[in-house]
A and B are shown apart, each in its own frame.
Chain A
Amino acid sequence: MVAGHFGFAALVKSRERSAPLWALMLATVWLDIVFVPLFLAHWETVIPVHAGYGGMVIHADYTHSIAGMLALSACLGAMFLPKLGRRVALVIALVSASHWVLDLVVHRADMPVLPGNFGNLPRLGFGLWSHPPAAACVELVLVVAGAIMYWRAAMDVSAKAGRNGRLASLSAAMIAIFGLLVLFLDYTS
């Protein structure tokens, strides 16, 4: 899941208007950003199950463990705390944690509780990626709902500031179009 995370961040922006969108977008894929260097170092791995969308088991045993997710989200929130204040920093940390929750829906029981799957506890994941069209539909709903909710909030703040809604519409349209493009790239990979 890639596009769905960004759609969710747009949705959060509509509810928490003082949080910068770029920070929410960064937060929503923060666990995956940290995953990249660990993947390149072979500390975390991807095992293909089949070609195409969601066709993999991801052993992101540090970044996508529950404990790892909590630690990384807290670190990200702490980084934004001095600049954005407690409330927005907390929202950013929660958006980072939401990545794990959305991944839980699609992953194939590959997300551990503790880093490195310490204690060999059961791995988590509802496995919606086993049904690619259904997983893509969830992402599509998140992108469309995020773009619509964002547009409504952006139009509202523009109207209150006495500005026309052109920039708000452009920004929301970009979220929708880019979201669909990213989902298409992911689905046809």
Chain B
Amino acid sequence: MAFLSGIFLFVVVVGLVDRRLPWPSAKHREVSKW
């Protein structure tokens, strides 16, 4: 129960909210190093 709740709450719910924050892009960061 705790495991399934955790997957749903953290991967789906928090993950969706977090995506709206202006975090740097992974690919952009890697390319900008070159």
In angstroms, how far is the closest chain B Cβ from the Cβ of A177?
9
**Beyond known contacts A17-B23, A84-B26, A174-B14: 17 more, CB 8 A cutoff:** A5-B6, A18-B23, A18-B24, A21-B18, A21-B19, A22-B14, A22-B15, A29-B3, A83-B27, A86-B30, A87-B26, A171-B14, A171-B17, A174-B17, A178-B10, A183-B2, A189-B2
- Determine the interface band of chain A, counting residues with CB < 8 A from chain B: 35 or more
The answer to whether B11 touches A3, judged by C-beta atoms less than 8 angstroms apart, is no
Taking chain A's interface residues, is the majority helix, strand, or loop, or is none over half, making it mixed? Answer: helix
CA distance A110 to B15 in the complex (A): 32
The answer to whether B1 touches A189, judged by C-beta atoms less than 8 angstroms apart, is yes
Residues of A within 8 A of B16 (CB): 22
- Stretch of A98-106, A116-124, A125-133, A161-169 at the chain-chain interface: A161-169
Residues of B within 8 A of A21 (CB): 14-15, 18-19
The answer to whether B14 touches A178, judged by C-beta atoms less than 8 angstroms apart, is yes
The answer to whether A182 touches B2, judged by C-beta atoms less than 8 angstroms apart, is yes
Residues of B within 8 A of A168 (CB): 21
Whose C-beta in chain A lies nearest to the C-beta of B30? A85
Q: Does A61 contact B (CB under 8 A)?
A: no
In angstroms, how far is the closest chain B Cβ from the Cβ of A116?
23
Residues of A within 8 A of B22 (CB): 157-158, 160-161, 163
Residues of B within 8 A of A38 (CB): none
CA distance A104 to B30 in the complex (A): 33
Whose C-beta in chain A lies nearest to the C-beta of B24? A18
The answer to whether A185 touches B14, judged by C-beta atoms less than 8 angstroms apart, is no
CA distance A158 to B19 in the complex (A): 12
